[in-house]
Amino acid sequence: MGDRLKMMDATGVTFTLAPDDKPVEVTGPAVISGTMAALKQTSPDKMELAESRQGVPTGRITITLSADEKVLTMSAINLAPNASRDPSVTVFEKQ
């Protein structure tokens, strides 16, 4: 979407972000009120998505594009008090 990143999933969670680190509301049928997301471009090939609820950080996703632009890697960390700090990594390969 030009300079915007639109995120949506199968449950109806939706938000559109600009890489300006400004929080936007996350909407959807199962989203808890006060849930926000902010996107920051940290380098030409990397962005960080910060998630929060009522101003408290709840998660962080790092999105990295390979130099050949064929592999997109998403590494997510849950910041809940009792959550593991081990990242969940998803890799997408361009066909």
pLDDT in tens, 27-51: 888 888 999 999 999 999 999 999 9
- Looking at per-residue confidence, does 66 or 5 come out higher? 66
Task: Find out whether 16 and 6 touch, Cβ atoms under 8 Å.
Answer: yes
Task: Find out whether 60 and 46 touch, Cβ atoms under 8 Å.
Answer: no
Instruction: Provide the strand spans (E) within 22-87.
Output: 24-25, 35-43, 46-53, 56-65, 71-78
pLDDT at residue 2 in the model: 63
> Is the pLDDT confidence value at 1 over 80?
no
pLDDT in tens, 38-87: 999 999 999 999 999 998 999 999 999 999 999 999 999 999 888 888 99
Q: Where are the domains of the chain?
A: 5-93
pLDDT at residue 70 in the model: 97
Which DSSP state fits 23? -
Task: Find out whether 58 and 49 touch, Cβ atoms under 8 Å.
Answer: no
